[in-house]
Chain A
Amino acid sequence: MSAPLIKIENLRKAFDSHLVLDGVNIDINRGESIVVIGQSGCGKSVLLKHLIRLLEPDDGRVTFDGEDISRFDFYELTDYRRRFGMLFQSAALFDSMTVEENVGLGLKESRQYSAKQTRDIVNEKLELVGLTGVGEKRPAELSGGMRKRVGLARAIAGTPEVLLYDEPTTGLDPITADMINELIVHLREKLQVTSVAVTHDMKSAFQIADRIVMLHNGKIEFEGTPQEVSTTSNPVVRQFITGSSVGPIQA
C-alpha cells in the first residue's frame, strides 16, 4: 500500500469558543474518491478548506505527498493550490466576469498559456461539462445547475490532481443534482483525479464515493465503503442516512 496523497492528522479547529473539528484523522489515497458526510454545520466545509489552507488549523496538520502544507511559503502555497480545483457550494463565480473569463482566470493568471491556448482550454472544459455557447453570458444569467457546471469547468481548467467539491448538489433539483453527480463520476474517470467531496446528500455520496467518512461532533464517527455505510448498525450513521429526526443526532 503506497503512502496516502493527503494525510489529515489530528486536525482541530475552533471558531471563538465553538469547537468545530476535534482531532480529525483521514488518509486520502491517490485516485480515490472520498466523500465526507455529516449534518449541516458539522465542519465538513471547514475540513475541506484546510486542505488548501483557506483556513489554518488550531492544532494538527495536513500533509500532501509527505510535505506539511503549513510550512509552504507564499509562492509554494500558490503552486500547491494550483494542483487543486475546487467547486464551491454556491459555485462562487465572479459576477463581474463572463463565463469564459471565469473559467479562464486561473489559466490567465498562471501565465503558462497564450490567449489562444486559454480560449481553447476554456471551450474544451465548457464542452466537457455540457455547456457550449454560454461563454459570453454573466453568472447572473445562468440557472443554479448551470452555475455549478461553470464552477466545475473552472475547477478542472488547470487540469488539477485533486478536485474538491463543497456540497456539489445542494440547492439543485433532483434531476440536475443527478446530472452533476454523473458529471463528477465522468470527470474522475476521464481525468484520473483524486476527489474529496463534502455533502449531506446521501444519494450523491453513494453515487460518487469510493469511501465515505462521517463527521459528527467534530470527530470521525464512521469510515467505510458505500456498501459498509448502507449496512452499518451505527445508530448515528443509520439516523443520518435514513434522514430520521429520532435518534442520537440532535438538530
Chain B
Amino acid sequence: MPSGLQELGRLGVNFIRAIGGVFILLYKFIASLQELHRSLGLFVHQLYLLGVKSVPLIIIISIFVGAVSAWQAAYQFKFIGAPLRLLGHAVGKAVVIELAPVLAAIVFAGRVGAGITAELGTMKVTEQIDALESMGISPVRYLVQPRVLACLFMVPFLVIFANFVAIVGALIVSIIGVAVSSETFLTGFKDSFKLSDFVNGLIKAGVFGFIIGIVGCYHGFNTKGGAQGVGLATTSSVVISMVLILVFNFVFAVILFRI
C-alpha cells in the first residue's frame, strides 16, 4: 500500500512526464510543418470535420448565451438603477471580450477535443498508429498536424459566428423581454465596440484552439489499455483543455485588457 508521500511523488513524476510529453509533441508538430504541403488535403478535411460541423452547436449555444446575458444584465441594471439604454453597450462588451471566445472554446473542447482524443486513443490501442509508423508515415504529420492546425484556425472562425449570433440573441431578448428598442440596443453596442477588443478575442480563440488540439492529440497518443483507457484519456483531455482555457483566459485578460 503506497504511503501518501509516495503517492504524491508518483503524481509529481507523472505531471512532469506529461508536461515533457506535451513539449516533445509540440516540438515534433513544429518540425512536421516543413512538410505542410503534404497534409493540405487532410487539413481541409479536418477543417470541415472539426470546424464546419461544430457550427450548428455553436449557433445554439451562442443564441442562448446572448439571450441570457441581455436578461441578466437588464436584471442587474434594474437592481442598481442603471439606464437600460446601456444594455447594448454592456452585453456587446461582455460577448466580444469574454463570452464568445471562452464559451466557444469550452464547447469546442467538449465536442472536438474529446473527439480527437477518442479517435487517436482508439487508433493507439488498436495499433493503427503503430501501423502508420511501420509504413514510414509520421503519425505527427499525418494525424496531429492537420488536427491542431484545424483547431487553431476554426476556433477563431467559430468565435466570429458566436459573436454575431450571441448579439442577435441578446437583441431579441432586449426587444421582446426588456422593452429596449433595437435602435437603442444597437447604438449602445456600436458605441462600445472596439476593433481591438474583437481582434484580441480572436487571438485568444486561436490560442485556445491550439491548446485544445495539442492536448487532445497528446492524450490520444498516450492512451493505454482498452475502452476504459480511451474513456479516461478523453475525460482527462477535456478537463485539462478546459482548465488551461480558463487559466490562459486570465493571463490574456491581464496582458491584453489593461485596467
Q: Known contacts A89-B127, A90-B127: does B134 contact A79 (CB below 8 Å)?
A: no
Q: In this assembly, does B30 line the interface, its C-beta being within 8 Å of a C-beta of chain A?
A: no
Q: In this assembly, does B131 line the interface, its C-beta being within 8 Å of a C-beta of chain A?
A: yes
Chain A interface size range: 20 to 34
Among A72-103, those with CB < 8 Å from B are 74, 77-82, 84-86, 88-90, 92-95
B135: chain A residues at CB < 8 Å are 81-82, 105-106, 109, 154, 158
Among B133-154, those with CB < 8 Å from A are 133-138, 142
A109 touches B137 (CB 8 A): yes
Task: Name the residue on B nearest A89 (C-beta).
Answer: B127
Q: In this assembly, does A49 line the interface, its C-beta being within 8 Å of a C-beta of chain B?
A: yes
A74: chain B residues at CB < 8 Å are 138
Task: Name the residue on B nearest A49 (C-beta).
Answer: B130
B127: chain A residues at CB < 8 Å are 88-90, 92
Interface flags, A126-168, vs B, CB<8A=1, else 0: 0000000000000000000000000000100010000010000
A105: chain B residues at CB < 8 Å are 135, 137
Task: Name the residue on A nearest B135 (C-beta).
Answer: A106
Min CB gap A55→B, angstroms: 9
Query: Which A residues are within 8 Å of any B CB, using their own CB?
Result: 49, 52, 54, 74, 77-82, 84-86, 88-90, 92-95, 105-106, 109-110, 154, 158, 164
Task: List 27 A-B residue pairs with CB atoms under 8 Å apart, sorted by A's residue number.
Answer: A49-B130, A52-B134, A54-B133, A54-B134, A74-B138, A78-B136, A78-B138, A79-B136, A81-B135, A82-B135, A85-B134, A86-B134, A88-B131, A88-B134, A90-B127, A92-B126, A92-B128, A92-B131, A93-B128, A93-B131, A95-B126, A105-B135, A105-B137, A109-B135, A109-B136, A109-B137, A164-B134
Query: Which B residues are within 8 Å of any A CB, using their own CB?
Result: 123, 126-128, 130-131, 133-138, 142
